[in-house]
Homo-oligomer: A and B are copies of this chain.
Amino acid sequence: MLDALFKPRSVAVIGASNKEFSIGNSVVTNLQTYGYTGAIYPINPSSPEILGLKAYPNLSEVPGPVDLAHIILPSKLVPQAMIECGEKGVKAVIINSAGFKEMGDEGAKLQQEFMANARKYGVRVFGPNCQGIINTDPDLKAYCNFTNFLPKPGAISVVALSGGVGALIMQGLVDIGVGVRIYASNGNACDVSISEIVRYLGNDPQTKVIIVYTEGFADPGEFLQVAAEVAARKPILAMKAGRTEQGAKAASSHTGSLAGVDIATELIFEKTGILSFADEGDLIRAAMAFASQPIPRGKRVGIITNTGGPAVIATDVLVAAGLEVPVLSGESIAKLRASLLPQAAVENPVDVVATAGPAHFRAALDIMNDDDGVDAIFMNFVTPSFSDTQAIAREIVAVSLQGKKPIVCNFMTDIRQERFQVTQRILLDGGVPCYAYPSDAARALGALARYGRIQSHPVSRPEVFADIDAAKARTIVAVAKKAGRAILSAQEVYGILEAYRIPVAPWTVVETVAEAVAAADKLGYPLVVKVDCEAIDHKSDMGGVVIGLQDAEALRATVNDMQARLAHLALHSHLGKLRFFLQKFLPGGQELIVGASVARGLGHMMMFGIGGIHVEVLKDVVFKLAPLTRYEAESMLGSIKSAALLDGVRGKPPVFKQGLVNVIQRLSMLLADLPMIQEMDLNPIMAFEDSVFVVDGRIRI
């Protein structure tokens, strides 16, 4: 579908130029220099020849078919050029020119105009205000881009809206010596979207790893869907910038988008199994490891080093990344002792010492590779002047090529010396990811392991509960909506929860003291009483909530008092009078909160936390995108910092986790069935050793 864009058999450059350093010149030069194997058609009204190629005054005079055209013209001329592309039968267009939506209303109008023309002719548009694409395929070598990275072919593909960050990533990959497969930076992205490109790369067999840089998505739902498909097949490494409020502001100022501090993007990454990075260097270095190394089956790392200190640093970072540096098996230790120099340290880290030769390295690598207690190998390789470092590098490569366990290498060398350049080339050409710092190497291995953990999560569909009454819940919402009420009454909230069999503390609604006393006899004391009236917003502050009523006398006094103080406020409510919500008071237990709110284009975002100070002061909450699988609901419980409280502390029993997971899953289904719910706040939910009850809830539609 996007083959014309990414695998063009011919490229026209509208606005090709002989003027050095102009974009119209760079694009043609790059196609030539990089060795594009298709036809290049420079279009220029005044020059018959551009950079040694025959140029055409306009597109219609190009003799052959044109798959892809660059448009490099002042923005005002782009709508007309699009018509000419359409008439020529061009399939895809890269608009490098700026001056569109990013420049305000006038530019936005031009963008609308050329898009209307493109749609008319079925031309796909990449950009505008963009760099373009690169396809390093040796049979194609399509460098349709005005930058100048000239990367070697590889397995990493890169997608970045921002040309600046795209350049940063490409430069980073080139600098660390790793190859690229496809690069795409689509600027304003008015047609071909990041999601579409990711889907294309997902289907590209030569792409082993996808790097995505984003500052937010125009259509998050589309991306969620694509990412779920693609991330299940190959690793996607992503970075979302604009994570802080000021960062988001900086992002919106340069893209003209409405990006805010959305946690939703991170939640999409998490839900779909995309590996998220907060540091662009870490992302680039991790991609290098993904491009050539297998995913570790576990978290146990064997370290081989020929100098002490850096292995200590690596150990710290590996452990901080959730990995382990375990003691090796007795058998491995014995074999190491027999194979290495006498001064070698045969614990893990294994220090082969600086004077170790290729055979010592190979022995250590083989022993690690054969030890079932080791899942990955961390090499710390310093190049002493007296070592045959090239032979050592060849041994590392040989073991790496077996592909049994991932290997990363902290390669400490003086790269100014030619013999060490050769050593590094042996490692890199052999697919051994090399890093300049032990922490960098350790974090790259940590990323491989993190991906392994994600891949090991059980995949399932959200549970569907058959015992629910969706129609009843829908009716409750419809009635409220018809009445023009956005906030549901307590009775309505509990009605909806009960329709989804979500346990609520026993309750009833009454209008008079007599009804209250009669109902209380059935519910049993102690009781909570709340006024139930949408006109009274802050019930607690208004003295509209009294807890712990022990008997009928107290209940009577409370209801009478509320009537006297608050009845006048209810005159303009939809009932015109107060009602009283009576509920069984459940002391003890652990106070919890579950909430939900609509996330633009993504359904609902759910929140879980422990009530009281944990939410209010410590902000110890976890968010996930609904609908939730059982695994996701369970992992919400484990993800909060104070998760240990759920297991019972200071004499409290543990809470009924399975009941809580069930409640969360039922709420998730409720939200999926009732997308009109804008906001839901169940606070508190009281959890006991063998039961869970919603005690108070609020729903806004």
- CB within 8 Å of B: which residues of A? 21-22, 26, 98, 103, 148-149, 160-168, 171-172, 174-175, 213, 215, 241-247, 249-251, 253-255, 278-281, 303, 305, 307-313, 315-320, 324-325, 343, 345, 347, 349, 351, 380, 382, 385-386, 412-415, 417, 436-440, 612-613, 616-618, 641-642, 644-645, 649-650
Contact = CB atoms under 8 A, between A and B. Distances in A.
A305 B250 CA distance: 11
A612 B613 CA distance: 13
- Which has the most chain B C-beta neighbours within 10 Å: A165, A245, A649? A165
B325 A246 contact: yes
In the complex this chain forms, how many copies of it are found? 2
Nearest to A323: B246
B244 A320 contact: yes
13 contacts: A148-B385, A148-B417, A160-B309, A162-B307, A162-B308, A165-B312, A244-B315, A244-B320, A247-B312, A254-B312, A280-B313, A612-B650, A618-B618
Contact of A641 (B165, B249, B313, B618): B618
Contacts of A245: 319
Given A246-B315, A281-B440, A165 B309 contact: yes
Contact of A439 (B164, B280, B309): B280
Given A163-B308, A247-B313, 12 more contacts: A162-B312, A163-B309, A167-B307, A171-B412, A174-B414, A175-B436, A215-B309, A250-B315, A253-B345, A253-B349, A254-B345, A616-B649
A279 B436 CA distance: 12
Contacts of A98: 343
A617 B413 CA distance: 45
Contacts of A168: 309-310, 412, 437-438
B164 A308 contact: yes
A241 B309 contact: yes
Contacts of A171: 412-414, 436
Contacts of A149: 414
B438 A385 contact: no
A250 B325 contact: yes
Contact of A215 (B303, B312, B320): B312
A307 B246 CA distance: 17
Contacts of A280: 313, 437-439
Given A308-B255, A312-B215, A324 B650 contact: no
Contacts of A645: 613, 617
B312 A241 contact: yes
Given A309-B163, A309-B165, A347 B253 contact: yes
Given A244-B320, A309-B163, A103 B613 contact: no
